[in-house]
Each structure stands twice: as C-alpha cells, then as structure tokens.
Amino acid sequence: MSERNNSNEHHGKKPKVRTEMSRRQFLSYTLGGTTAFMAAGMLAPMIRFAVDPALKHKGEADWVKVVEEAKVTNEPQSFAVQVHQVDGWYESEVELTAWISKGTDGKIFALNPTCKHLGCTVNWNTNPQYKNQYFCPCHGAHYTADGKNLAVAPAPLDEYKVKVENGFVYLGQLGANTRG
C-alpha cells in the first residue's frame, strides 16, 4: 500500500478509492478496440464483395446520352457529361469525360482520358512531336488515335462501351481497350 494511504488511515480518514484505470483495464480496452477496428476493416470488403455483383449488375444497364451521332468526326473530340453515381450507400454526381471519334473502320468509339502510366489526363494532338496522337504531359506517354500505348504507359487507354440509338451516341461501362 502506498505511503499516502497509510497516512490517511493514520488520521482516521477513509482510504481514497482509486478511480484511475488499472493497467489491465487499459490494456483490455485498447486491445479490444483495436481488435474491433481490425475486424471491421476485414468485414467491410467481405460485405462489399457480397453486395457488389448486385451493384455492378445495376450499373451495367446504365447508358449515358452524350452527343448527336452527326457531330462525331474522325478527329477525336472531348465530351464531358454529369453522371449520377450510386456506390453502395454513397450517391454522388461525377463528371465523365471521353474522347469520342470515328475510327478508320467507320465505327464510333470512346476513350477514357486517364493515362495508363500514373493516371494523369491525356490530350489529343497537343505535342508537335507526336502529331495526331494522345499525349500525357506528366511523363511523356503517347498513344495512337485508337488508344494504343506507344511509350511510357504499360497499356492502351481504356475504352467505353458505345451504342448509337436514334441518332445519339451513348456511353456505357468502361473497360479494356479493344482497338489498341
């Protein structure tokens, strides 16, 4: 017993009740909290994995109307549209950007401007050294009009699914490039 408690007893006072947390309590609270946190961290992706197919299925049906078919040229043009996105419990408005053009095969296709090196944004025909190519200003990656990677980037630009209906171009899911 501590010296202070001894002196309290000596003067006829009640010994002070210790209200501080014991080391054992502290450790059990801390470890308990950490374990719960880690369990939540492990459970979240598992729940998401279970729920995801349903969300994905819903997303696959979504098409976004972007531009009149007649306005699409052989020269790629950049289009931006607002999309209402539902990701689990989180809903947001996101801007979807695509470079849309008509290929040499006459087909309309749409590329995502996110560079496949480290994610900067590519632009069409901005570097005189790489005429009629997509160029990324960050580390110099460049791509053909079909999105094929020519240098720096390890993969072609991603491509949106495209459908043309009643004279309008619609964009669907983003996926791997089928042209590059």
Binding site for ligand FES (CB under 6 A): 115, 117-120, 136, 138-141, 152
Smaller CB separation from ligand FES, 98 or 142? 142
21: tokens are 């947390």
Contact call for residues 179 and 149 (beta carbons, < 8 A): no
Quote the least distance from Cβ 128 to ligand FES, whole Å: 17
159: tokens are 């491509």
Percent helix / strand / coil, the chain, rounded to 5: 30, 35, 40
Quote the least distance from Cβ 113 to ligand FES, whole Å: 10
Rounded distance, CA 106 to CA 123, Å? Answer: 22
Rounded distance, CA 22 to CA 33, Å? Answer: 16
Smaller CB separation from ligand FES, 8 or 123? 123
Quote the least distance from Cβ 83 to ligand FES, whole Å: 24
Quote the least distance from Cβ 115 to ligand FES, whole Å: 3
Smaller CB separation from ligand FES, 135 or 170? 135
Residue in the structure block whose two tokens are 């995801």? 52
Q: What are phi and psi of 110, to 5 degrees?
A: -135, 130
Smaller CB separation from ligand FES, 140 or 172? 140
Smaller CB separation from ligand FES, 81 or 155? 155
Q: What are phi and psi of 160, to 5 degrees?
A: -85, 150
Quote the least distance from Cβ 136 to ligand FES, whole Å: 3
